Structure 1
Amino acid sequence: MDVAPALDPRRLLVFREVVRAGSISAGARRLGWTQPAVSQHLAALERAAGMPLLLRGPRGVEPTEPGRALMAHADAVAARLADASAELEAFADRATGRVRVAAFPSGAAVVLPPALRRLAEAHPAMRVDLVEAEPPQALDLVRAGDADLGLVFDYGSADEPAGDLVVVPVGSDATRLVLPRDHPLAGASGPADLGDLADDTWVAGCPRCSAHLVEAAGAAGFVPDVRHTTDDYVLAQALVAQGLGVTLLPETALQAYRHPDVVVRPARRTRARRHHLVHRPGAQHLPAVSAVVAALRESVPAGPVRRTAG
């Protein structure tokens, strides 16, 4: 009985860098190797696999279907090695080293700065790297080992599950209706009824925010007329200020930036946006990661998760 040769994990990581870089030459630069050396490792990996793993072309490389399957395992190997490296570093010097955080934009603007300041004061030997990423991308970064923590959100509906990641609820913020100053409902008091805006045009946000808008409008008995879509809360408010639509925005986005020519009101039939931290299993035992989690939990709004009555 023939036994397939074992895959060399080092070549698996070389393959991962090449796929992520998009070409053999770019992968070689990221690895600090020569291109012929990288090509030799890839050829040896394909011989061991017994099938092509990359499609080579003038614009770079793309993984074959088996290559894409292998890439998931390569990401898992890289993630476990990153965990091992971080854990050993933590043993050498508690709450030191680098922690990589992927956070959605308004969370990065409102939650991260005070948390990073506290961490810099309490743990000066620790480094925290931040990258902006919407929740689906943040989940992918954490799964692949390219981020240690993800600050994500959902509206308590059918959002992408975190799956194999650990999810730590850390708070929520309310959803607000944003209107032009001359809108007929701008001067009213109390929560607005979205049904009164059925004839308005709307500015929608990211996929999760857009889904929440459609859900809330549906509960009020109409389908929103979405004319503009942007996940930039500054642009969304600028469009509203010019009378080009109305929108729903979370409170943290309005804390990060508030256009002077918009009016903000509470609205019925909307959900609060729930905030979570996600990480790979076991990462919570690393002192540096646990320190960042504690700092972020202090910074995230702790409002109740509930639907505004309507």
Structure 2
Amino acid sequence: MSSGLDAQRLLIFREIARAGSLASAARSLGWTQPAVSQHLRHLERQAGTPLVLRRPRGVQLTEAGQTLLRHAEAIATRLRLAADELDALVRLSAGTVRLAAFPSAGATVVPAAMGLLADRHPGLDVRLREAEPPQALALLAAGEVDLAVTFAHPAPRPDAASGPGAALAPEPETAGASDLVRMVVGEDPLMLVLPRSHPCAEPADVPLPLGELAGEKWVGGCERCTANLLAVCAGAGFVPDIRHGSDDYVLTQALIARGLAVGLLPRMALDAALDPGVAVRPTAGLRPRVLYVSHHRDADRVPAVRGAVRALLDAMAAPV
């Protein structure tokens, strides 16, 4: 067996496997069938074993052929990524950036970032999918999106500062794949939302301790948000009476506006849509949820992805 395999012949072999026959592969490549057959024979000599079995209606991969095909597919993928990266280096506007973002980000900072990208790089194709953080990270790990905008509620730690000092510090993604990284891009404070007629609705700019609402009915949110509500209320010394559950911040506010409950919503959700029937007050002693942008470890070398991250950072920093 040769010390190395010819990369071009590996790609020809991949086309034979995909096409199912030498004749079909030759047509796809624009070559003659004898030329394709010759390359296959050379590759089999290099491999030291047959890679295909000739059948009346095509070819069947041997076990060695199936093994080699996996590597040929990986080489083809890397070559395609290399071509995309080179093209992006030459013409940033030729690239495509696919984003996944949770709903309130998708209604606020992400459209602002997309607008910035449209102004800076008019030909860049930017596509958005709405997805909660676990689904967004799954899409990213599967290669279906290039960037995932997510959030996480910090574990209650009264002694920890939550200022913006570390807002741009990168850290490894721990939610699954080892080749993903995430960057902290901002914070989203949690706000108490009450009916306008509630005795605690004013003063709007003064933080309200959670304990003041211990006897109220509450609206819970998504699974993570409800878990956070239970945790912060436990820290305030009570168990909230959660009567309703919705991850739709418009519905949540509609229930609150009609005096049916109170709730805890992130500022970003209120920026997206604010019901005139609710009052909003800051909370005392609660840390904001943390906002992240995640991507594959090498993706920040792609100018289109790097430009999208820059636009997201600029949109996060812009005043509402």
Shift, 1:45, TM fit:
11
Structure 2 residue aligned with 1:261 = 277
The one of 279, 289, 307 aligned to 1:291: 307
Distance 1:77 1:264, change over 3 A: farther
Q: Give 3-state SS (helix, strand or coil) of 1:114's partner.
A: helix
Letter in 1 for 2:201: A
**In 1, Cα distance between equivalents of 2:242 and 2:213:** 12
Q: Give 3-state SS (helix, strand or coil) of 2:187's partner.
A: strand
**Contact 2:141/2:177, CA 8 A, preserved across alignment:** no
**Contact 1:99/1:288, CA 8 A, preserved across alignment:** yes
**In 2, Cα distance between equivalents of 1:292 and 1:172:** 19
1:249 aligns with 2:265: yes
User: Which deviates the most, 91-100 or 113-122?
Assistant: 91-100
Q: Give 3-state SS (helix, strand or coil) of 2:284's partner.
A: coil
Equivalent runs, 1:61-80 vs 2, <5 Å: none
**Contact 2:218/2:242, CA 8 A, preserved across alignment:** yes
Shift, 1:188, TM fit:
4.4
TM-score (structure 2 length as normaliser): 0.68
**In 2, Cα distance between equivalents of 1:143 and 1:87:** 19
**In 2, Cα distance between equivalents of 1:230 and 1:11:** 52
The one of 208, 227, 233 aligned to 2:243: 227
RMSD: 3.6
Shift, 1:91, TM fit:
4.0
**Contact 2:188/2:290, CA 8 A, preserved across alignment:** yes
Shift, 1:95, TM fit:
4.5
TM-score (structure 1 length as normaliser): 0.70
Distance 1:247 1:45, change over 3 A: farther
**In 2, Cα distance between equivalents of 1:179 and 1:78:** 57
What does the per-residue CA deviation read over 1:144-167, in whole Å, with 9 as the maximum and x for residues that have no partner?
000000111112239973652111
Distance 1:143 1:84, change over 3 A: farther
Letter in 1 for 2:234: G
Q: Give 3-state SS (helix, strand or coil) of 1:141's partner.
A: helix
Structure 2 residue aligned with 1:114 = 112
Structure 2 residue aligned with 1:135 = 133
Q: Percent identity?
A: 45
Structure 2 residue aligned with 1:174 = 189
Q: Give 3-state SS (helix, strand or coil) of 1:136's partner.
A: helix
Structure 2 residue aligned with 1:274 = 290
**In 2, Cα distance between equivalents of 1:253 and 1:45:** 56
**In 1, Cα distance between equivalents of 2:16 and 2:220:** 45
The one of 94, 97, 114 aligned to 1:96: 94
Moved over 4 A (4+): 8-13, 43-46, 76-85
Which structure 1 segments of 5+ residues have no match?
Answer: 1-7, 14-39, 50-69, 71-75, 304-310
**Contact 2:220/2:242, CA 8 A, preserved across alignment:** yes
Structure 2 residue aligned with 1:33 = none
**In 1, Cα distance between equivalents of 2:294 and 2:16:** 29
What does the per-residue CA deviation read over 1:124-159, in whole Å, with 9 as the maximum and x for residues that have no partner?
121100011111111001100000001111122399
Larger Rg: 2
**In 2, Cα distance between equivalents of 1:150 and 1:12:** 34
